[in-house]
Amino acid sequence: MARNTINIEFNQYIVTVATIVAAVAAGYLAYATGIVNPLVAAATAGAIGFAVSYLSARSGAAVIILGALVFFFTFTQAPPRPSTIGTERHSSPRVAPIEAPRTAVVDAAASVPLPEMVRIPAGSFLMGSPASEPERDADEGPQHRVQVAAFELGKSEVTFAQWDACVATGGCTHRPADEGWGRGNQPVINVSWDDVQQYVTWLSRQTGQTWRLPTEAEWEYAARAGTTTAFSTGNCITTSQAHYNSYDDYAGCGTKNWVFVGRTRAVGSYPPNRWGLYDLHGNVHEWVQDCSHDSYTGAPQNGSAWLDSCPDSGRRVLRGGSWFNYPRDLRAASRVRNVTGNRDVDLGFRVARTLTP
C-alpha cells in the first residue's frame, strides 16, 4: 500500500511538472507569434494545463493556475529592455505588419527616385529639455535658444527603394539587408553614418543640389514643429501616433498597452506632425550630422552642425527612437550616439536639402 501511494504521488508530481512545462511552452508560442496581450497568453497556457490535467484524470485546478502564472511572470513581465545610451541590443523579429505603399517622387531629368521634401520655415526654438521633463538625460541640457534658417527636410525616412537606386547606379557600395521585413517603402535600415555620406553625395551629384544629413538642431526644430512638450503630440504619445515598444509607460500617461511588433513599418504609416513630417518619433533611429557631446555647453546657436570640440569624433548622434525603444527615447529632446561605421536593424536616416538663394 505504501509503495502504491508513493507511485501515485510520484505520478501526480510528473503530471504537475509536465503540465507546467506544457503551459509555459504554449504561452511562449502565443507570445512568439505575436499574441502579446498577457491575459490572452495566460489563458492559452491555462487551456493547455486543463487539457493535460483532464487527460491524466487528476485534479488540475492548482496546476492550471500555477502554469499560467509561471508564463505570465516569465514572458510578459520581463520583456527585453531597449538600450537608452546606444542601439546595440535588440530582440528577434516576430510579426510582419501590413505595409501601406507610398509612391516615390522621381526626378524626371536624372531618373532618380528622390525623397519627398518639406520646406521648413526659418525660426527659433528652445533646444533640449527642461530639468523638469520626466526621464530626461543630462546631455539634453542646458536648454538654449537656436535660430534656424529655412531648409528642406525629408517628409519621411529614406526608403529601401530610394537607397537601392543608389546601389544600382554605383553611387552606394553597401546593399543593406532588410531582415526579411521587405524593401520598397520600408525605411532603409542597417546603414551606418559613413554609408549615408555616400548616399547624399550621390544625390547631390545626380541633381546638382546640396543634399546632406540634417543638423541636430534642424532635426529637433522640425520634430517639435512649434511645440515645447516632450513629444510633438503633447506630453504623452500612443501606439496610434507612432511606432515603438509600448511595454513601458511614460510619465504616468497610461499608454502601456503591450504592443511590440518587433520590426519596422512602412514609412508614413502614422499621422504626420503639424509640419507634415512622418515618423520623427519612432520607427527607426535617424542619423544626424553632428558628432556627440555630453551636454549643450558651447553648442552653436545658429542651427549649424556641431563638429568641433568633440570628445569622440568617431561617434555621431541619432534622434527619434525606434520600433525597439520605449517612449522615453522617442522624446523630441532625446539623444543617443553610435560609432560612424555601425550598422544595425533600427538605424536609418532622413535627408535634408540646403535651399539656394
Q: What is the pLDDT along the chain (357 residues), one digit of tens a residue?
A: 544 544 545 455 555 555 565 555 545 444 444 444 445 555 555 555 555 555 554 445 554 555 554 444 444 444 444 443 344 333 333 333 333 333 334 443 447 899 999 999 999 999 999 999 999 999 999 999 999 999 999 999 999 999 999 999 999 999 999 999 999 999 999 999 999 999 999 999 999 999 999 999 999 999 999 999 999 999 999 999 999 999 999 999 999 999 999 999 999 999 999 999 999 999 999 999 999 999 999 999 999 999 999 988 899 999 999 999 999 999 999 999 999 999 999 999 999 999 987
- Which residue spans within the chain are E strands per DSSP? 105-107, 112-114, 117-120, 123-127, 144-148, 151-154, 211-212, 285-291, 315-319, 335-339, 347-348, 352-353
Instruction: Tell me: do 206 and 90 sit in the same domain.
Output: yes
Distance (Å) of CA 102 to CA 115, 187, 267: 11, 12, 8
Instruction: Tell me: do 241 and 300 sit in the same domain.
Output: yes
Instruction: Tell me: do 192 and 123 sit in the same domain.
Output: yes
Domain boundary among 18, 44, 76: 76
Output the pTM of the full model. 0.75
Instruction: Tell me: do 93 and 236 sit in the same domain.
Output: yes
Domain boundary among 57, 76, 95: 76
Domain boundary among 25, 50, 76: 76
The residues with which 52 forms a beta bridge, in sequence order, are none
Instruction: Tell me: do 169 and 222 sit in the same domain.
Output: yes
The residue range of the domain holding 29 is: 2-76
Instruction: Tell me: do 106 and 26 sit in the same domain.
Output: no
Instruction: Tell me: do 138 and 200 sit in the same domain.
Output: yes
Q: Which residues of 142-180 are buried (b: 16+ CB within 10 A; e: fewer)?
A: ebbebebeebbbbbbbbbbbbbbbbbeeebbebebebee
Instruction: Tell me: do 67 and 112 sit in the same domain.
Output: no
pLDDT at 109: 43
Domain count of the fold of the chain: 2
Instruction: Tell me: do 30 and 156 sit in the same domain.
Output: no
CATH label of the domain that carries residue 132: 3.90.1580.10
Instruction: Tell me: do 157 and 267 sit in the same domain.
Output: yes
Instruction: Tell me: do 179 and 306 sit in the same domain.
Output: yes
Distance (Å) of CA 215 to CA 58, 286, 289: 67, 11, 5
Alpha-carbon span 303 to 220, nearest angstrom: 10
Instruction: Tell me: do 51 and 198 sit in the same domain.
Output: no
pLDDT at 83: 40
